[in-house]
């Protein structure tokens, strides 16, 4: 990873310039500073505390933003290849792409996921000159997509599909009968489809052809259409506006509690805690809580105390719902410097679960949101595409840029070992089923020790601010001496994130 983040470079230049100007003026330090005549001590200290950007800072920020906008504002037209023999798994659902109907079901399932990418020209982030997150906000965007999926499951009808998904008729993938067990998935850059010539091989069926052929056959679901106002409202919560509860402005503001600021890179563990805080401080996501596992351990009693509303009621209210729905986020490390191949089968089994809402991680320096797999390739949504800000306060704003028509794949062995896995349970019964199903999936690992565990009892609440602190609580995993190196890496959730 680069040793200096964009925001650090943004301020270094400004400070050096200020010192140069001061030395040339040769004014007594008590009478002059880099912003003009000496201010009263209290005002000067306040300005120093917030590091008010000067013109040099603004120029540097604009140049960096312009470069990132160019870098992430174009796409390479490519098709990702899927085979007809192996099923494609997407968040607990399986699709065997050997018929037009199955290809259409897969296309609808993929396009219906909410896609959140880099944006530009949004209101300036407080305390900085940034009006874009290009180049540094990819993990925050991946975290937004993970939370958005949890909210979709929480608020929308079961197996909901976006009724207008067929607007994106040219889905950029093709289906073929493989000659070998696996085939590369194409260039991992998302792009919206465009009309193409019909030069598809005879044995392949493109996603666009399947969608067009089956448009006439699939009746629109009344429940899906009735849920569209909720869909619109949900997307507004992630808008790039200062008041959007899960928008970039709010997430960056919450991240300041852990020493992060606009322009810094964020890891999957820090983002998990930011999402927890964001949900806790807003009332828009009713009857929903977020729990973040500690030291690769989900403490069941902590989840019960968070979700069981009857525990906080002095007099039980029969009309109130007794249990909050919960999103469980588990920061883990799946190896040392690279992914341990022994964990691949376990990750596959987790993505097969209905309760799984995805994984945020990626490859080194490149965050992605994983939602499924086929054979030895992960299926993902990529936030590294810069789009103009959409004003979500406008009535009937377009949803097209919040849905992706280009499924992309990458080999498991390119996955960075640092990631956060997400799950959702609607009620207490679902939570018990989740614990059982996930524990079974975790037992499929060839490693002696599972990726994470469920245990009874309570853990120590580290919170968002505790990632840089040392805690004396009991370790979740006691490893033999030969594996102490990996245990040390795991014990500090913030240290092992290099995305």
pLDDT at 332 over 70: yes
Whole-number Cα distances in Å, 423 to 287, 354, 365: 16, 9, 25
Question: Is there a catalytic annotation at residue 467?
Answer: no
Is 138 tagged catalytic? yes
Pairing between β-strand 325-333 and β-strand 366-374 as defined by DSSP bridges: unpaired
User: 382 exposed, middle or buried (CB, 10 Å; 0-12, 13-18, 19+)?
Assistant: buried
pLDDT of residue 171: 56
pLDDT the model gives residue 59:
58
Query: Domain extents for the chain?
Result: 86-171+222-313+322-460
> Tell me: the pLDDT tens digits for 299-330?
999 999 999 988 876 555 555 568 999 999 99
**Catalytic residue selected from 133, 134, 138, 375:** 138
- Of 47-61, 224-238, 457-471, where does the model show the most confidence? 224-238
Q: What residue has token string 């400004």?
A: 14
Q: What percent of the chain has pLDDT over 70?
A: 64
Give 167-187 pLDDT, tens digit per residue: 664 555 677 666 544 444 433
Looking at beta carbons, which pairs linking 356-359 to residues 24 or more positions away fall under 8 Å? 356/91, 356/92, 356/421, 356/422, 356/423, 357/91, 357/146, 357/149, 357/150, 357/153, 357/327, 357/422, 357/423, 357/424, 358/91, 358/145, 358/146, 358/149, 358/422, 359/146, 359/419, 359/420, 359/421, 359/422
Catalytic-residue membership of 384? yes
Task: Look up the pTM and report it.
Answer: 0.74
152: pLDDT strictly greater than 50: yes
pLDDT in tens, 352-364: 999 999 999 988 7
Please name which of 460, 462, 440 lies closest in space to residue 450, comparing C-alpha atoms: 440
Phi (first) and psi of residue 477, to 5 degrees:
-125, 130
Catalytic residue among 154, 249, 273, 384: 384
User: What angle in degrees, to the nearest 10, is found between the helix axes of 100-111 and 207-214?
Assistant: 100
Catalytic residue among 172, 375, 382, 416: 382
pLDDT tens digits along 484-498? 333 334 333 343 333
DSSP string across 217-228: TSPPPHHHHHTH
Predicted confidence at residue 78, as pLDDT, reads 66
Count of residues in the chain: 499
Please give the Cα distance from 79 to 52 (Å, whole number): 46
């Amino acid at each position: 990873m680069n040793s200096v983040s964009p925001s650090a470079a943004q301020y270094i230049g400004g400070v050096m310039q200020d010192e140069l100007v001061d030395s040339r003026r040769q004014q007594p330090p008590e009478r002059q500073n880099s912003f003009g005549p000496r201010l009263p001590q209290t005002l000067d200290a306040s300005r120093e505390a917030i590091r008010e950007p000067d013109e040099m800072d603004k120029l540097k920020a604009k140049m960096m933003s312009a470069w990132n906008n160019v870098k992430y504002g174009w796409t390479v037209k490519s098709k990702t290849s899927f085979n007809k023999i192996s099923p494609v798994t997407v968040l607990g659902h399986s699709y065997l792409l050997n018929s037009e109907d199955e290809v259409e079901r897969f296309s609808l399932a993929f396009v219906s996921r909410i896609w959140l990418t880099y944006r530009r020209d949004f209101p300036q982030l407080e305390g900085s000159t940034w009006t874009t997150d290009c180049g540094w906000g990819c993990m925050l965007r991946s975290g937004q997509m993970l939370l958005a999926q949890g909210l979709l499951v929480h608020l929308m009808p079961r197996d909901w599909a976006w009724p207008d998904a067929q607007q994106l008729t040219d889905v950029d993938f093709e289906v073929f009968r493989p000659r070998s067990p696996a085939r590369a998935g194409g260039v991992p850059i998302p792009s919206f489809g465009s009309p193409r010539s019909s030069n598809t091989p005879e044995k392949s069926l493109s996603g666009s052809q399947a969608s067009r052929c089956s448009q006439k056959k699939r009746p629109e679901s009344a429940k899906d259409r009735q849920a569209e106002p909720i869909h619109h409202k949900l997307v507004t919560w992630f808008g790039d506006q200062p008041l959007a509860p899960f928008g970039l402005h709010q997430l960056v503001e919450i991240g300041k509690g852990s020493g992060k600021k606009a322009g810094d890179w964020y890891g999957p563990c820090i983002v998990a805690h930011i999402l927890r805080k964001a949900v806790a401080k807003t009332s828009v996501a009713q009857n929903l809580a977020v729990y973040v596992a500690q030291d690769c351990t989900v403490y069941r009693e902590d989840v019960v105390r968070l979700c069981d509303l009857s525990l906080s009621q002095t007099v039980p209210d029969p009309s109130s719902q007794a249990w909050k729905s919960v999103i469980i986020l588990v920061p883990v490390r799946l190896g040392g410097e690279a992914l341990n191949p022994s964990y691949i089968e376990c990750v596959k089994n987790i993505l097969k679960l209905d309760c799984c809402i995805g994984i945020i991680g990626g490859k080194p320096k490149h965050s992605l949101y994983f939602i499924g797999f086929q054979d030895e390739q992960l299926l993902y949504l990529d936030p590294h595409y810069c789009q103009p800000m959409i004003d979500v306060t406008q009535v009937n704003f377009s949803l097209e840029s919040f849905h992706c028509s280009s499924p992309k794949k990458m080999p498991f062995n390119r996955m960075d070992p640092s990631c956060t896995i997400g799950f959702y349970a609607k009620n207490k019964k679902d939570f018990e089923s989740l614990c059982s199903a996930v524990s079974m999936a975790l037992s499929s690992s060839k490693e002696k020790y599972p990726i994470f565990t469920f245990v009874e009892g309570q853990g120590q609440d580290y919170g968002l601010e505790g990632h840089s602190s040392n805690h004396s609580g009991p370790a979740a995993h006691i490893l033999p001496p030969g594996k102490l190196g990996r245990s040390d890496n795991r014990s500090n959730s913030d240290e092992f994130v290099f995305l």
